[in-house]
Structure 1
Amino acid sequence: MRIAWGASVLLVASVHLGAGWQGVLPRLVFAGAVLVAFACLPLVRWAKVSALVLLGFALVGAYAVARTDEAAPASVLLDLVPRLLTAARPAPATPTLLVPGVLLVFLVALAVAVARSSFAPALGAAVLYTATALLTAGRADPHGVVALALVLLVALGWLVVDRIEAGRRLPLGRPAAVLGVLGAVTLSATVLPSAGAFEPRELVRPPVSDMAVTSPLPRLAFWAGIGDTELLRVRGPERPLRLVALADYTGATWRAASLYGPIGAVADPDLPPGARVSESTIEVTVGALGGTWLPAVGRPSAVSLDGAAVDTDSGSLVLPGELTPGLRYDVTGSTDTPDDADLLTATVPTGPAARRYVTLPGLPFSLAEYARKAVAGASTPYEKAVALEQVVRLDRKPDVEAPVGSSYARLETFLFGTTESGANAGTAEQFASAFAVLARSVGLPTRVVVGFQPVPEGPDGVRVIRGSDATAWPEVYFDRWGWVPFDPVSGTGSGPSPASKREVLDRLASIPPSPTTPPSAPPPLAQPAAPVALPPAPPAGGPPFVLLAVPLVPVLLLLALRTGHRVRLRRAGVAGAWSYVLDSLLLAGRTPRRDRAAPDIAHDIAGFAPSAVPLAAMADRSAFGPSAVVEPDAWRLAVEVRAGLRRVVPWYRRLFWSVDPRPLRRHHNRVTR
């Protein structure tokens, strides 16, 4: 009965712990860990031996699941919790990230099963519930329903289990204790603050990697050349897929970010999300895509792949290794979705955070003047963006065979050329880059996104993305509303509605739609802008020492109690010395019967502890003599007996000799026990 009750309490707590991971699988795995731990109870008859062996098997299994080729076993095991705390929230249900949860549940359940105490299930449930609260920042049980269920289940056990097992009346103190616990829980839920809670993720520095990843922008022409090849399959809402958002422009090319870290564990983006967002989850199956970039939707908030890293500012996902055909994962992300009316009067940021998105090193005067004339008459940032989208698209045609590149020279040929190759023709790379550069020159924060626009859903609910679906588009950042996409190729892509753009263009109808030639005799360069400053990589950090020291607290406490106990026995003279011998016999597994006298006990162990014989005689004289006898050598003899016992006991008993709590519970009222 007691075992079934303890297992039930821990099953509820372990299923609740699964809220820290994605999906249903972690809850089932943790529940299975509880059942396995209680199934091992028959093996734990020699408590320290079997528990130690089971702990060793658990650690070896954890290392086998989480190991890497270059890391030592100790490093792998010590890194389990930091890896979990720097993963996405909720964490992907991968074997490596599930290991710390399985270890915790198994060890807690094993301790509760071995203890067989009325308070052990409550303590185990409290440990698992606290771990869940820390891992999920309290979001797993916002209304305290699970906590109340655990308290009621523990209370039921306290009231019923002992009564059924012992067949005695229920003590009156039990209901009072249960009511007190319920009252304390209710009071805590009422008075404890709900904000500013402890966040363990702040104790672990997230691993930020410097990855030398290349921009996929030049691959647009390659994908267009294999237009019928299946790159990936998508199941889920119809949303644009992003490979990478490129924000750093050198004047010759767009450069991808180099610093990447775990989702949800790195700093906030330099430009915050908009006030209106749409969240969606898709399932992606990789085909012939290749590379290291992971297609995602919007700003990723969760991904089911272990090891995937994100650039916080752009939301670009990257995998340390190459994508392989057949790779399948789920990704959740949010996209800014402002209304058209929101954008009409929206402003753009001008502070240091936006400098990266308006930087144009060595901008040619021809492009700066062209942009200035294109937005003449536009009074708001949104009107400027719509006007630039129109002038870039006007009289220019998409051509998959056009020369690649996004340098100033290539953009000048694309915008102003007449007879040379690539004049007034280009791929999505040139259309998006031309818009982004012109928009930056008039103060609009922009970036270029490489990805895939939505395709129709097939009869099986799957969208097949082919090489011809790869494209690029520019985005403009507006205060309060986030990143808004524009489409200088067709003007009908995702983003503001065509009707809203047409209203803006109608208001600007008196302005020529586009300059037809570059200005005459332009100076060679405009004023160079400030160079892009990339944040330095934070120093590497390991798990905090405070977390590593927590398991040592009970060991140090037992060691201190045993030391104080030994000091008291030494001060007690001969009786204390003989009690010290009896403690040693208890630790060695040779506890004598209560009816045996001290000389008889000494005779049994004289073969390996001859000092026990004179010490037993001293103990008899001290206990039964007419007056107290002072024997200065009594403690020395007791220490010699202890040393002899330690030499003949198995190694596993010596391992716990100094911290075993059993001598603290033994009564020393008779020297002959």
Structure 2
Amino acid sequence: MPAGLVAFSLVVLALVGGYWVARDSAIDSADPPAVLLDLVPRLLTAARPAPATPELLVPGALLVFGVSLVVGLAVVRGRSLVAPVVGAAVLYTCTALLTAGRADRHGLVAVGLIALVAVGWLLVDRLEAGGRVLLGLPAVPVAVVAALAVVLPAGDAFEPRELVEPPVSDLGVASPLPQLASWANLGDIELFRVRGPERAVRLVALSDYSGAAWRAASLYGPIGAVAEPDLPPGARVDEAEVEIIVGELGGRWLPTVGRPTAVTLDGAMVDPDSGSLVLRTELTPGLSYRVRGVLDVPDDADLLDATVPTTADRYLELPGLPYSLAEYARQIVQNARTPYERAVAIEQVVKQGRTPDAQAPVGSSYARLERFLFGNPGEPGANAGTAEQFASAFAVLGRAVGLPTRVVVGFQPAAGEERVVRGSDATAWPEVYFAGWGWVPFDPVAGVSSGGSSAAQKREVLDRLASVTATPTSTPLSAPPPPPLVTPSSPVAAQATSAGSQRWIGYAVLGAVPVLVLAVLGLARLVRRRRLRAAGATGAWAYVLDGLLLAGRTPPANRTAPDVAAELGSAPAVELARLAEYAAFAPRHPQRPMATAPNVGVRPSSPTHGGADHAGQHTASGSGEGESAWRLARQVRVGLRHGVRWYRRMFWAVDPRPLWRR
């Protein structure tokens, strides 16, 4: 079969196989072009290292297959020495891009490939050719590459993931903050186990506050995708990796440490702004995974003069803030000079005179926080609450004085190599963002440490501050605004219509590609046929040789036309071979030039007329012989075509091999 047709068939089979493997995990599995085109973006938005799932292995397998096919064809057909090197360079470059240079940090693989090429080209080939081996030649390409490595800039590696927009899913997972009380009531029930460095285990970071409750983010993407958070990480970070074994912990939130950078669970998604990790399905007892994350760890001296960003509107929003809470926050920080001192003052005031109580009413609305902060003794929830009220009060008061804050729900397990996290370990703490140093946790719950700056540093700040405990006047809350009467129209219908049209366009393009290829090949074959027909008997014999090539009966190059025709055993072929040899090698009749008369009006001599008539007769005879030769060629081609198998007849008119024959 034609090599081009075989290669085309193999490519089609590879693409169909890739679609078959990846279709189960695709969002729109009914659109093959979309599934195939989405393979590379899915790989570039997967975690590092990416889990060995079939859909993530398909792009690399297709790339290796395509490069190997091209290199194999180049070597077999043209004995190319450059093709294998180019193929290796393509695969190496793609690997370096996919891993941002981490797959070969020191260039050892590149040096090995260059040495292999040098040995093959400069030693083995010269030995096979019988030449003298120059041992110094392999050092030349190595020296050139080394010089380039020294001259080229060595900055941050190019990151192709920045060019891909990560896929985002709207999960709408509920906030676990109201579950703190129920977890505390579980007591010694084991929620999960942690193995690894002793770090606070985070479940979710809540950044959006409506005045009634804290809301979790709803849009999540694959972990490992390059999606910068809305507030950049700090200058000092610490990396930790732990193993989590789930027990009775329910829901879909995954315990982690810091901002997760890698996880061994397939299907885990992350909010890039908060670092909250969520699973598409419910957690099950016995689920085990490893997660790696980074934490901001600024020094005490870094925080003393740190500033806060003024553009972090999301972390400063307080819709409908009551005057009582705003005035209370202002009186707390009236003697503080820096953002860090304001945060320490708020932490100290929220602690003073208030008691953690697992049985206290839940909630983090303005009304619940006013009762928690200003309630009269004996009232339910007055000066008592769970970690939800302590953390929420700090976060709201901090936002009221310009501190970007959020609330983190997590766990503070006991120390040990393998720590059992129980329901009583569940807690919440606030975090403040400092420009250049990242998110710093604080501890408004007495006796529980969430990290952050040292206790000695905070004592120094408190000793300098004149602690002011304000006594604000309670102001009734205004009623929340009614929901809007007109809800924004959902783009689902429009998206469905657009997706349907895109699907049909994809099918049309996928079907048009082979049709277009066959049309181009057929047109090229038609042009060649017309050119051969214009060449007379020699072109007709070339047309027969094209048919022999298509039939798989190409004669050796040293056989003459009559010998080839005799082997065919066809009378039209024998006659055509005689005409082709006569047209190619027989001497032509000389054409005498017309005599030019010395004076105008003198008729040429009769021999000249005779020569002109003879030339015209020869041209007419040649034209007739060409038509006769072409009729014979068609008869021979018909016989050749009927003698081949059905699959050769199917591609007879578009087979590209005759186009490459001289």
1:487 corresponds to which of 443, 449, 462: 443
TM-score normalised to structure 2 length: 0.78
User: C-alpha displacement at 1:193, in angstroms?
Assistant: 5.4
On the 8 A contact 1:440/1:446 being kept in 2, the answer is: yes
User: C-alpha displacement at 1:381, in angstroms?
Assistant: 1.0
Residue 473 of structure 2 corresponds to which residue in structure 1? 519
Deviations 1:8-27 (A, max 9, x none): xxxxxxxxxxxxxxxxxxxx
User: Residues 642 and 243 from structure 1, CA distance in 2 versus in 1: closer, same or farther, beyond 3 angstroms?
Assistant: farther
User: C-alpha displacement at 1:657, in angstroms?
Assistant: 7.0
SS in 1 for 2:359: coil
SS in 2 for 1:414: helix
User: Residues 376 and 202 from structure 1, CA distance in 2 versus in 1: closer, same or farther, beyond 3 angstroms?
Assistant: closer
Residue 10 of structure 1 corresponds to which residue in structure 2? none
TM-score normalised to structure 1 length: 0.77
State yes or no: 1:312 paired with 2:275. Answer: no
On the 8 A contact 2:123/2:133 being kept in 1, the answer is: no
Deviations 1:197-247 (A, max 9, x none): 875445543212222221111222222232333322322222222221111
On the 8 A contact 2:161/2:226 being kept in 1, the answer is: no
Residue 419 of structure 1 corresponds to which residue in structure 2? 378
Deviations 1:462-486 (A, max 9, x none): 3332222222110000111110001
Residue 554 of structure 2 corresponds to which residue in structure 1? 591
Residue 387 of structure 2 corresponds to which residue in structure 1? 428
SS in 2 for 1:511: coil
Residue 257 of structure 1 corresponds to which residue in structure 2? 217
SS in 1 for 2:262: strand
Residue 130 of structure 2 corresponds to which residue in structure 1? 169
SS in 1 for 2:420: strand
User: Residues 229 and 192 from structure 1, CA distance in 2 versus in 1: closer, same or farther, beyond 3 angstroms?
Assistant: same
User: C-alpha displacement at 1:447, in angstroms?
Assistant: 0.3
State yes or no: 1:217 paired with 2:171. Answer: no
Question: Cα RMSD (Å) of the superposition?
Answer: 4.4
SS in 1 for 2:452: coil
User: C-alpha displacement at 1:579, in angstroms?
Assistant: 2.6
State yes or no: 1:332 paired with 2:292. Answer: yes
Residue 62 of structure 2 corresponds to which residue in structure 1? 103
Larger Rg: 2
Residue 371 of structure 1 corresponds to which residue in structure 2? 329
Aligned residues: 601
User: C-alpha displacement at 1:373, in angstroms?
Assistant: 1.8
Distance, in Å, in 1 between the alignment partners of 2:248 and 2:540 is 79
Q: 2:434 corresponds to which letter in structure 1?
A: F
2:462 corresponds to which of 505, 508, 512: 505
Q: 2:538 corresponds to which letter in structure 1?
A: A
Residue 133 of structure 1 corresponds to which residue in structure 2? 96
On the 8 A contact 2:4/2:656 being kept in 1, the answer is: no
Residue 450 of structure 1 corresponds to which residue in structure 2? 409
On the 8 A contact 1:92/1:302 being kept in 2, the answer is: no
Residue 611 of structure 2 corresponds to which residue in structure 1? none
Contiguous gaps of at least 5 residues in structure 2: 485-489, 589-617
Distance, in Å, in 1 between the alignment partners of 2:226 and 2:190 is 34
Of residues 569-578 and 418-427 in structure 1, the stretch that sits farther from structure 2 once superposed is 569-578
Distance, in Å, in 2 between the alignment partners of 1:333 and 1:280 is 6
State yes or no: 1:381 paired with 2:339. Answer: yes
Distance, in Å, in 1 between the alignment partners of 2:654 and 2:293 is 51
Q: 2:212 corresponds to which letter in structure 1?
A: A
Distance, in Å, in 2 between the alignment partners of 1:50 and 1:613 is 34
Distance, in Å, in 1 between the alignment partners of 2:561 and 2:410 is 86
Distance, in Å, in 2 between the alignment partners of 1:563 and 1:88 is 53
State yes or no: 1:297 paired with 2:257. Answer: yes
SS in 1 for 2:230: coil
Of residues 70-79 and 306-315 in structure 1, the stretch that sits farther from structure 2 once superposed is 70-79
Q: 2:361 corresponds to which letter in structure 1?
A: P
Deviations 1:70-106 (A, max 9, x none): 5035543332222112223443333321222233234
Distance, in Å, in 1 between the alignment partners of 2:527 and 2:106 is 46
Residue 478 of structure 1 corresponds to which residue in structure 2? 434
Deviations 1:547-601 (A, max 9, x none): x9xx99xx89x96998987776566443344334323432432222445543564
Distance, in Å, in 1 between the alignment partners of 2:245 and 2:234 is 29
Q: 2:436 corresponds to which letter in structure 1?
A: R
Contiguous gaps of at least 5 residues in structure 1: 1-44, 669-673
**1:256-295 paired onto structure 2 within 5 Å:** 256-295=216-255
Distance, in Å, in 1 between the alignment partners of 2:302 and 2:251 is 38
Distance, in Å, in 2 between the alignment partners of 1:174 and 1:55 is 42
User: C-alpha displacement at 1:331, in angstroms?
Assistant: 2.3
Deviations 1:437-457 (A, max 9, x none): 111111110001112234323
Residue 21 of structure 1 corresponds to which residue in structure 2? none
Deviations 1:177-206 (A, max 9, x none): x66654654455455555698754455432
User: Residues 94 and 653 from structure 1, CA distance in 2 versus in 1: closer, same or farther, beyond 3 angstroms?
Assistant: same
Of residues 136-145 and 46-55 in structure 1, the stretch that sits farther from structure 2 once superposed is 46-55
Residue 464 of structure 1 corresponds to which residue in structure 2? 420
Of residues 369-378 and 341-350 in structure 1, the stretch that sits farther from structure 2 once superposed is 369-378
On the 8 A contact 1:376/1:511 being kept in 2, the answer is: no
Distance, in Å, in 1 between the alignment partners of 2:542 and 2:136 is 40
Distance, in Å, in 1 between the alignment partners of 2:634 and 2:276 is 68
SS in 1 for 2:344: helix
On the 8 A contact 2:200/2:450 being kept in 1, the answer is: no
On the 8 A contact 2:223/2:270 being kept in 1, the answer is: yes
1:620 corresponds to which of 548, 560, 581: 581
User: Residues 195 and 563 from structure 1, CA distance in 2 versus in 1: closer, same or farther, beyond 3 angstroms?
Assistant: farther
State yes or no: 1:356 paired with 2:306. Answer: no
SS in 1 for 2:290: strand
Residue 189 of structure 2 corresponds to which residue in structure 1? 229
State yes or no: 1:149 paired with 2:108. Answer: no
On the 8 A contact 1:397/1:426 being kept in 2, the answer is: yes
Distance, in Å, in 2 between the alignment partners of 1:634 and 1:411 is 103
Distance, in Å, in 1 between the alignment partners of 2:453 and 2:640 is 85
